Amino acid sequence: MDDWKKHLYIIWVAETISLIGFYFCLPFLPYYVQELGAKDIGQAALWTGLLQTVGPLMLVISSPFWGILSDRFGRKIMVERAMFSGFVILVAMSFVKNVQQLLVLRILQGFFTGTLTAAIVLAASKLPKEKSGFGLGLMQTSAYIAATVGPFIGGVLSDIWGYRNTFYFSGILVGIGGCMITFGVQEPEKYREEKESEQEKTNAKNNILFLLIVLFLFQCAATFLSPVLAIFIQKISPESKRIATIAGSIIAVSGIASVFSAIGAGHLAGKKDHRILLAVMLGITGILTMLTSLCKTTGQLMLLRIAAGLSAGGIITTINTHIHLGTKQSSLGKNFGVAGGISSLGAGIGPMIGGALASVYSIEFTFVFSGIMIFLTGLVCPVILEKTPVEEKERLPEITEP
């Protein structure tokens, strides 16, 4: 097996395990907040929302910071920093005495972790350019798999072991991921930078800037639905006695569909015009999201969410692939760090806007508005983005004195 492929698979397994650990707490966080003293339902909801928001907002600041440091001091140590910090912080969450202490740890988690961005940079450092789509598509599946599997396992374990013990176990999983990186992955060799004209540098910077704008708009619009999807399911299926199971199943199948989409987009990204790929995927996703507002049954909703997962799952993969293709090795950490921060900003703002739209207008309007925003983002892709070269010479390692 090629060296780059072996390292890619180790990084992917380690990151998937780590993200599953981070996702463990999502199902029971509102209940843990109540156990810590926020007995009133309104207070529990307020604290839960705050705890879920501070993480992404801290990543907006920390991702570019750690990305720049990774360009200076190495990519492997940044993944180790993120995973071992996550291990310590998650274990510490099992010992907190009140909600305020939990909030402090969530803030620290948001600043010191960010494992996905760090892992993507490490993987991209090893990837040949012609394998960029495949490798980054595989890495993106870590997030979809973890978002599907993590909350389910975390919910089951919290019922069996209790909330505190589940935090402890989730920390151990993240620590295992860190150990896999430490003992299984070598720091990439330094690469000689290719010379570029000033025009080429300017074009690459502009294209990456526009890709980041597309990433922000998509993440923001897609997460409009986060606070309203479960309520919409309750609205169209008011008599169901297993509403939580139905909601979890719909979210899970959408995540599974996104895994296949990310892999498929990875095979196409870098080979086909990314402007057209993004326009098609965003356009279809926008239309399907708007159609969701017309659903009358959970069966209809599940079919549309599966279709939306298949169309949307490859969007971030395509964006990451072309950030990689347009970035020098010495700037990978910075550019992917900024992308991680932009993505977190969209994911942090989106739910707030979605909740406000639902409260002022309606849940159905939120789906329509989200779909329109995603669709329009797709329309502008062929206009604002420039075609990225799909074939680049592989950068050669520096020759150093023995």
State whether 265 and 232 are in the same domain. yes
**Residue 34: both structure tokens together:** 């109540």
Find tokens 């789906």 and name the residue: 367
- Classify residue 327: in a domain, yes or no: yes
Q: What is the pLDDT of residue 257?
A: 94
Q: What is the pLDDT of residue 402?
A: 34
**How many domains does one find in the chain?**
2
- Alpha-carbon distance values, 315 to 104, 109, 207 (Å): 33, 27, 16
**Do 16 and 142 contact (CB within 8 A), yes or no?**
yes
State whether 177 and 232 are in the same domain. no
- Classify residue 308: in a domain, yes or no: yes
State whether 147 and 233 are in the same domain. no
State whether 96 and 219 are in the same domain. no
State whether 58 and 149 are in the same domain. yes
Q: What is the pLDDT of residue 196?
A: 60
- Classify residue 402: in a domain, yes or no: no
Q: How many CA atoms lie within 13 A of 247 on its CB side?
A: 21
- Classify residue 379: in a domain, yes or no: yes
State whether 116 and 228 are in the same domain. no
3-class secondary-structure state, position 18: helix
Q: What is the pLDDT of residue 193?
A: 56
Q: Which domain holds residue 385?
A: 199-390
Task: Identify the domain boundary among 157, 185, 213.
Answer: 185
Task: Identify the domain boundary among 185, 209, 242.
Answer: 185
CATH code, 95: 1.20.1250.20
State whether 177 and 211 are in the same domain. no
Please list the alpha-helical segments (H only) found in 74-114. Answer: 76-93, 99-112
State whether 180 and 145 are in the same domain. yes
Q: What is the pLDDT of residue 330?
A: 84
State whether 167 and 208 are in the same domain. no
Q: List Cβ neighbours of 50 (8 Å cut-off, separation of 6 or more).
A: 103
- Classify residue 194: in a domain, yes or no: no
Which residues are paired to 191 by β-bridges?
397
Task: Identify the domain boundary among 162, 185, 208.
Answer: 185
**Residue 219: both structure tokens together:** 């993440």
- Classify residue 80: in a domain, yes or no: yes
Q: What is the pLDDT of residue 347?
A: 87
State whether 223 and 312 are in the same domain. yes
Q: What is the pLDDT of residue 106?
A: 94
- Classify residue 398: in a domain, yes or no: no
**Do 212 and 339 contact (CB within 8 A), yes or no?**
yes
Each residue's pLDDT, cut to its tens digit, for the chain (402 residues) gives: 788 999 999 999 999 999 999 998 877 788 888 889 887 777 887 788 788 888 888 999 999 999 999 999 999 999 999 999 999 999 999 999 999 999 999 999 999 999 999 999 999 998 888 899 999 999 999 999 998 888 888 888 888 888 899 999 999 999 999 999 999 998 876 655 556 656 666 777 888 999 999 999 999 999 998 878 878 888 888 776 677 678 778 888 898 999 999 999 998 876 778 899 999 999 999 999 999 999 999 999 999 999 999 999 999 999 999 999 888 888 899 999 999 999 999 988 888 888 889 889 999 999 999 999 999 999 999 988 877 654 344 333 433 333
State whether 217 and 112 are in the same domain. no
State whether 203 and 148 are in the same domain. no
- Classify residue 193: in a domain, yes or no: no
